[in-house]
Amino acid sequence: MTRVTARPAVLLVDDHPTNLLALEGVLEPLQVRTTQATSGEQALRCLLREDFAVIVLDAVMPGMDGFETARLIRQRARHRDTPIILISAYQKDESSIVRGYVEGAVDYLTKPFEPEVLRAKVTLFVGLFEKDRELKERAARLREEQAELLAREHAALLEAAVQRARLHGVFTQAPVAIALLQGPVHVYTYVNPLYLRLVGQGDILGKPAREAHPEIDGQHVFELMDHVFRTGEPVAGKAIPIHQGGRETAFFDFVYQPLRDGVGRVEGILVCASEVTTQMRARLKAEELSASLRSQHEALQKSEERFRSLMHAVSQIVWTTDAEGRVSADSPSWRAFTGQPREKYLDGRYGWLECIHPEDRGRTVRQWVEALRLRKVFEAEHRLRRHDGTYRTMSVRGVPVATEDGQVREWVGIHIDITEQRRSEESASFLARASAVLSSSLDYEATLAHVARLVVPTLADWCAVDLLTADGGLERVAAAHREPEMVARVYEVLRHFELDWNASRGLARVLRTGEPEWLPTVPESFFGAGARDEHQTRLLHELGLASYVCVPLLSRGRILGALTLVYARGREYDEWTLRLAEDLARRAASSVDNARLFREAKEAVQVRDEFLSIASHELKTPLTPLRLKLHSLRRSARVAGDGAMDSRALLAHLDAAERQVSRLSRLIDSLLDVSRIGAGKLELDWEDVDLVEVVREVVGRFEPQATKAGCRVTLSAPGPVVGRWDRLRLDQVVTNLLTNALKYGAGKPVELSVSTQAGHAVLLVRDQGIGIDPGNLSRIFERFERAVSQRHYGGLGLGLYITRTIVQALGGTIEARSTPGEGSTFSVSLPGVYAERALRTPAS
């Protein structure tokens, strides 16, 4: 069977192409395939070609709207359960929502909506679609396995039919009259040629005995048949006279043997008869013939009983013992499976017992002895060692074969391999319990700890769950050991572990490649691989490391960590356990990923709320003095009346207003830049630029602000530094860095310098202000981040973020060095400086 590996598809339906592009952009982080449709009719055609994990459908479209489209989709049996999310640009009203749900939608969103909400919903339905597809694939595999079992059963039935045909041939050639009668009215189902010659009739098949032989009614023949069928007791007769109408009385020896079905009920009668008329006239000859017939009858009866016993089940391994349970005959199928020598198998009463798992031997012997004592069917389940040394779970059934007098003559038994069936049942049960634990809480550390305890001792003697941290480290978030006092040592092992990303095996390799590692038997060399010191090697020896499985925690194509399972001694991991561990790891990774996404979503909402609060405050800040200046201008104009206003006062007011408008414009430009950066649309206009000239212009522009802040600004630049950059963006970089220096410079000098190093332009901006705490240096270049209180210094926390983004877009780097209380230095390095070339610039 071919496994479907294509990513699920999402159908996007909207009559506006721009909306389709927006939806596709929202879903792009999910890495799902999308199909677009601009109308309800086109969406229905798409559904004819492919099944979709979820349909995102515009509610209002010309022609066939979203509601009608949803209704038509639900009318198709194939897509009746496909999730539909309706989206409307209109205000949410209850009637539209109710109608959407009535037509089959699972959700109704109104624009604008949070992209994270749509991504979360689509992620859920895509996951459900993949799980459904996986279940269907498993069902197909089960059907294939069932077909294989049916084929085996058919082969066994065919073999049984061959045996029955052989038995039929024996009956046909037997020198005795034989007939099989079925049911309480004794309907003929089989007669051999000799029987037909004996009764002198040829059309008795399918007829009840009374209808076939009315001439012998009243001679107690039918009464004997009724007695045998009712009681199950065989009846035999010697030289019984039968009157056949006008014919001469004949004498017969006969046996009425009850035939039983698989559960012991009598379903018919076997009639063996022979005419002994001649023998009555010559008794000696008759006695010799009678002895011969009895011998033949016993042989036929034994063959028939053995055949019926073997038909109780289709066997993998067939074996026989005598009445006392001693192995009486060789079993090639047993020896082929177990590899046990013939002399060992036939050695004594329990030679076969050495192939049974030691833990199952006592129980098996007790059940076998009880079956022998009570003469009942022997049924058991135990692990049988295969010739390669592995143990397989077997279902065992032994049937006693009885003689005419009810004594057990022998036992016939079978072994059926049910290993895969049991493992499938155990896997399904274990994964169901693990899934319930993983879905019980969004606290993934607690749920992983619970799963670890669930794994031990079912799948491991000890286990550990490790997650990668944001800084590239490794954290052991859960551990379990079958001896609780050893759990602390499982945690301690990781503290002495050297994470070598180039290692050829071990935990580091699994985290690097995303591929599982499976060692049925761990070599001694494994103990020292990656160990930081001898203490860790000693810990591994104490914990035990006989067999080992390490599988990655993968979700949405990302490696989140690893799950490690260890058998300390005695047991080995096989491929089935590896597959089960991978399945468990996938579920655990999905749980961790979902919990982190939920946590990140909450943090993002919190950051958004904080930013909106800050942005609102910052945008209002320049508006307040601007409003005051305008009020002053209006008041001055009213006071002046028709006379001319003082030009100096007017210019002062206008300069102040212009400064606040410029500040407001810069805030808005920063917000627009953040929007462009987030959308990946930061454009650059490349041209030849003198970095010294740009810095000098910015310094001149900031002279009034520097004077007001009490900071003396100096520029050191030996000569022009020319390269191919974006002049406007360079101006923005210098502006942001100088603004930052003046804001936090504490009224002390600010120094700027421009130089070249190894073909790179280097810009340094140094202040002697409050400085930055070392713990904040790693985050000051992120959005909405600042190293000081917003209440005292204000700002949106975007300047350094935009600066870093521009520098990286130009191919350069930026870094900050600082000492609290002594100031900060920002260093920008830009590639692309022209050698031996300069633009004309004003003299320094």
Distance between CA atoms of residues 809 and 803, nearest Å: 10
Predicted confidence at residue 722, as pLDDT, reads 92
Residue 346 has a CB neighbour count (10 Å cut-off) of 17
* pLDDT given for residue 829 in this prediction: 93
- b/e 94-131 (16+ beta carbons within 10 angstroms → b): eebbebbeebbbbbbbbeeeeeeebbebbbebbbebee
Q: Which residue has the higher pLDDT, 730 or 314?
A: 730
Q: Are strands 760-767 and 823-831 parallel, antiparallel or unpaired?
A: antiparallel
Q: pLDDT at residue 794 above 50? A: no
Q: How far is CA 121 from CA 84, 93, 176, 201, 786, in A?
A: 11, 21, 81, 82, 34
**The one-letter amino acid at 540:** L
Q: Using alpha carbons only, what angle is made at residue 618 by residues 614 and 623, rounded to the nearest 5 degrees?
A: 145
Which residues, in sequence order, are CB contacts of 365 under 8 Å at separation 6+?
Answer: 350, 353
Quote the pLDDT of residue 626.
61
In degrees and rounded to multiples of 5, residue 220 shows phi and psi of 70, 10
pLDDT surpasses 60 at 643: no
pLDDT grade, residue 92 (50/70/90)?
low
pLDDT above 80 for 137:
yes
> Which pLDDT value is given to residue 31?
84
CA gap 334, 508 in Å, rounded: 45
Question: In 394-498, which residue ranges form alpha helices assigned H by DSSP?
Answer: 419-438, 444-455, 487-495
Q: Please give the average per-residue pLDDT across 67-71, as a whole number.
A: 88
Per-residue pLDDT tens for 97-115?
788 888 888 888 888 878 8
Q: How, if at all, do strands 722-726 and 750-757 pair?
A: unpaired
Among the listed residues 574, 529, 584, the one whose alpha carbon sits nearest the alpha carbon of residue 553:
584
Q: Is the pLDDT of residue 797 over 90?
A: no
pLDDT in tens, 26-36: 888 888 888 99
DSSP code for 78: G
Higher pLDDT, 510 or 532: 510
Report the pLDDT averaged over residues 534-561: 82
Q: How far is CA 837 from CA 325, 494, 764, 832, 843, in A?
A: 104, 57, 22, 12, 16
Q: Per residue in 218-235, pLDDT tens?
A: 778 888 889 989 998 998
Confidence of residue 653 (pLDDT cuts 50, 70, 90): low
The pLDDT assigned to 842 comes to 39
Cβ-Cβ contacts under 8 Å for 483 (sequence gap 6 or more):
none
In angstroms, the CA 716 to CA 755 distance is 9
Least confidently predicted of 14-18, 157-161, 473-477, 506-510: 157-161
- Please, are residues 276 and 290 in contact by the beta-carbon 8 Å criterion? yes
Residue 839, pLDDT score = 41
Q: Which of 74-83, 128-137, 356-365, 680-689 comes out lowest in average pLDDT? A: 680-689
Amino acid 670: pLDDT: 53
**Phi and psi at residue 35, to the nearest 5°:** -125, 135
- 55 vs 350, which has greater pLDDT? 55
Task: Kindly indicate the confidence band of residue 182, based on its pLDDT and cuts at 50, 70 and 90.
Answer: very high
Higher pLDDT residue, 606 or 395?
Answer: 395
pLDDT in tens, 292-332: 667 766 765 665 565 445 434 444 788 888 888 888 788 88
Q: Count CB neighbours of 451 within 10 A.
A: 24
pLDDT grade for 90, boundaries at 50, 70 and 90: low
Which of 377-386, 635-644, 728-737, 801-810 bottoms out in mean pLDDT, i.e. has the lowest? 635-644
Q: What is the mean pLDDT of residues 279-300?
A: 63
Instruction: Provide the residue type at 806 as one letter.
Output: I
The CA distance from 140 to 136, in Å, is 6
What is the Cα–Cα distance from 565 to 579, expressed in whole angstroms?
A: 12
443 falls in which pLDDT band (50, 70, 90)? confident
List, as one string, the DSSP characters of 122-163: HHHHHHHHHHHHHHHHHHHHHHHHHHHHHHHHHHHHHHHHHH
Beta bridge partners of 752: 715, 765
Can you tell me the distance from the alpha carbon of 645 to that of 650, in angstroms, rounded to the nearest whole number? 7
Assess whether pLDDT exceeds 50 at residue 672. Answer: yes
**Distance, CA of 702 to CA of 708 (rounded, Å):** 10
Residue 844 has pLDDT above 70, yes or no: no
**Predicted local distance difference test score (pLDDT) of residue 400:** 92
Please, what is the average pLDDT of the chain?
79
CA 807 to chain centre: 42
Angle between helices 799-809 and 727-744 (to 10 degrees): 150
Residue 808 structure tokens: 């990286």
CA angle 100/105/106 to nearest 5° reads 125
Mean pLDDT is lowest, of 79-93, 95-109, 641-655, for: 641-655
d(CA 621, CA 152): 85
| H and E: helices and strands count for the chain | 25, 26
Using CA atoms, how far apart are residues 697 and 730, in angstroms rounded to an integer? 11
Calpha distance 381→396 (Å, rounded): 6
- pLDDT band for 380, please (50, 70, 90 cuts): very high
Alpha carbon 269 to its chain's center: 59
What is the reported pLDDT for 593? 80
C-alpha span between 29 and 597 (Å, rounded)? 12
By percentage, how much of the chain surpasses pLDDT 70?
A: 79
Q: Looking at residue 836, what is its pLDDT?
A: 41
Determine phi and psi for 267, rounding to 5 degrees: -120, -10
- Tokens 């007695």 appear where? 227
List Cβ<8 Å contacts ≥24 apart for 166-170. Answer: 167/303, 167/304, 167/307, 170/300, 170/303
Of the chain, the percentage scoring pLDDT greater than 90 comes to 11
Do strands 266-275 and 250-260 pair parallel, antiparallel, or not at all (unpaired)?
antiparallel
Looking at residue 91, its pLDDT comes to: 56
pLDDT at 834 exceeding the cut of 60: yes
Q: Rounded CA gap, 363 and 361, in Å?
A: 6
The pLDDT value recorded for residue 165 is 72
Q: Are 690 and 838 in contact (CB under 8 A)?
A: yes
Rounded average pLDDT over 408-417: 89
Residue 600: pLDDT above 50? yes
* 8 A C-beta contact, residue 544 and residue 569: yes
As a whole number of angstroms, the distance between CA 556 and CA 30 comes to: 8
- Phi and psi angles of residue 478, each rounded to the nearest 5 degrees, phi first: -155, 145
Higher pLDDT pick, 841 / 77 = 77
Sheet holding 823-831, edge to edge: 713-716, 750-757, 760-767, 823-831, 813-819
CA distance 112 to 110: 6
The amino acid that residue 263 corresponds to is V
**Cα separation of 406 and 142, whole Å?**
43
**Closest Cα to residue 501, out of 473, 528, 522, 525?**
473
